[in-house]
Structure 1
């Protein structure tokens, strides 16, 4: 078995929403995420979930085939449009990159 030279990349973003804007955030990501997945075939997984323990906190979990796929997504017009749409309801974002191991 050969090792991958360009590993899959996992991204976990913690998104904190402006209090009272949770419904707006959820509606926006429900519309945005399918569009972004469709526009970026190197995205293997791209979904958001609401944190049960922290009100107004969401996790966006992303998996990319490789670094090039992640960079295409970051530079894509679909992502830039999505960020602009979400900006009014997002208070804070923390992004962590992970190399796939299993």
Structure 2
């Protein structure tokens, strides 16, 4: 399994648009990607501008298919315009899984 934990900052003025976008991506992922074990976003209780996205993939091929999906390709430039700075991405692997190569820089 490959787990991605992504922390993002979103200005209050962009929060509603960001949440709508991420809800769409999460719904499409859960509906159309059986190899994705978990995909969800949450908003911090303590820091109103901070969000986390948790993604769990069966393997690197499932992650690659997720990144190639139309909803992810369409959402990336939109989400980049809504967040402040770069996403803080951490990747974790288990069960002997090889890590995926990331194309988005992490702060």
Range class of TM-score, shorter chain: 0.7 to 0.9
Distance in 2, matches of 1:32 and 1:40, equals: 11
1:15, distance to aligned residue in structure 2 (A): 1.3
* 2:69 aligned residue: 76
Structure 2 CA distance for aligned equivalents of residues 81 and 37 of structure 1: 17
Q: CA deviation at 1:68?
A: 1.4
Correspondent of 1:96 among 90, 96, 102: 90
Task: Provide the C-alpha distance between the structure 2 equivalents of 1:58 and 1:67, rounded to a whole number of angstroms.
Answer: 24
Asked if 1:64 is matched to 2:57, the reply is yes
Correspondence for 1:3? none
Question: Which ranges in structure 2 are unaligned for 5 or more consecutive residues?
Answer: 96-107
**TM-score in terms of structure 2 length:** 0.76
Q: Which residue of 1 aligns with 2:48?
A: 55
Aligned alpha-carbon RMSD (Å): 1.7
**2:101 alignment partner in structure 1:** none
Query: Which residue matches 1:14?
Result: 7
Higher relative contact order (CA 8 A, sep 6+): 1
1:23 CA drift (Å): 1.8
Q: Displacement of 1:88 after TM fit?
A: 2.4
Runs of 5+ consecutive residues of structure 1 not aligned to the other structure: 1-7
CA distance in 2 between partners of 1:89 and 1:34 (Å): 19
Larger Rg: 1
Tell me the matched-pair count. 94
